[in-house]
Structure 1
Amino acid sequence: MASVMGDDIDILAKAKRALDADYTPSDDDEYMSPRQLNYFRVLLLEWKKSILTASEFTLQSLQDGPIREPDLNDRASSETDWGIELRTRDRQRKLIAKIDSALRRIDEGEYGWCEVTGEPIGINRLIARPIATMTVEAQQAHERREKISRDD
C-alpha cells in the first residue's frame, strides 16, 4: 500500500515540476486570488495528464498479450505484479474523479474552502494535497467519526 501512495506522490511531484517555476502560492498572497486559482488549475491538469500517461503505458502492456512465463512461480509473481498495477490504476481512476471535482470547484469559486466549516483550507495543505476538500481539523474530525462508526 505504501508504494501505491508513493506512486501518487511521485506523479504529483512530477506535475509540480512541469509547472512554470515563476510562481508558487504563499500565505502572503490574497487567499484564492485569480493567480492562485490558476496555479492550482494548471497543477491539477498536469497531475491528471501524468496519471493518464501512466495508465496508457499499463493499457499498452495489457494489450501486448497475456503472461506466458514457463515457470509457475514466475507466472504467479507476474500475475501478482499485474494485480498490484491494476489496483494502482483503479485507485488513480478514482483520483481523476477527485481532480475533476477540484477543477469544477475552481470554476464555481468553491475551491480552497472547507466543505464542512466554510473556512479556508490553507495554501500549504492545498499544495500538499490539491484535491483536499476539508481543513486539517475537519478532516481529522471526519476520520474520528468514521473510525468510531467502524468500531461499532
Structure 2
Amino acid sequence: MAKLTEQDILNWNGDDYMNADQLEFFKELLLQTQQELVNNANATASHLQEQESTPDPADRATLEEEYALELRTRDRERKLLQKIQASLRQIDDGSYGYCEDTGEPIGLKRLMARPTATLSVEAQERRERMKRQYAD
C-alpha cells in the first residue's frame, strides 16, 4: 500500500485502528518534528555563540531579552522532544494511540492535531476538571 497522507488519516473510517500504515505515518511525523526541533536547538546554540557585544545599554537589553525568549522557546521544545521520544517508544511497544488512563483509542483526528497525546479527549477533560477542583 502507498504511504498514507494526512488526508487519508483524517478521512479514515476503517476498523483497523493503529494498523501498520498508520503507525508508520505517525512515526515519520514524529521523527520529522524531532529533527526540526534538533535543528532549531543547533541554530540557537550557534546564534548564542555569535553573541555580539554592544556598548549601548538599550541595545544590550534588547539582545538579552531576545536571547531569553529564544531560550524559553528551546526549553519548551526540549520538553516536546521528550514527549516525541516517549511516543516513538510507544509505537515500538504497541501502546501508541491508546489512552493511558482508559486504554481506549485516542482517535486519529486527535493524534493528527497532537501526535504526542497520551489521553483521550474525555480523559484529558476529566484530568483538567480534577485539577480545577483542587486548585479552587
| TM-score with structure 1 setting the length | 0.80
Write the distance in 1 (CA, Å) between the matches of 2:31 and 2:115. 11
8 Å Cα contact 2:4-2:22 kept in structure 1: no
Is residue 23 from structure 1 mapped to residue 5 from structure 2 by the alignment?
A: yes
1:41 aligns with 2:27: yes
Deviation per residue, 1:81-125 (Å, 9 max, x gap): 110100110111111110000001111110000011111101000
Partner residue, 1:5: none
Contact 2:4–2:25 (Cα < 8 Å) also in 1: no
Q: What CA deviation, in whole Å up to 9, does each residue of 1:41-70 have, x standing for no partner?
A: 0000000000000111000011123x4222
Aligned residue runs from structure 1 range 3-152, under 5 A: 23-24=5-6, 25=9, 26-29=11-14, 30-65=16-51, 67-151=52-136
Q: Which runs of 4+ in 1 moved over 3 A?
A: none
TM superposition score normalised by structure 2: 0.89
Identity of aligned residues (%): 44
- Higher CA-based Rg: 2
| Aligned-residue RMSD, C-alpha | 1.6
- Structure with higher RCO (Cα < 8 A, 6+ apart): 2
Q: 5+ residue gaps in structure 1?
A: 1-19
CA distance in 2, matches of 1:106, 1:33: 11
1:8 matched to which residue of 2? none
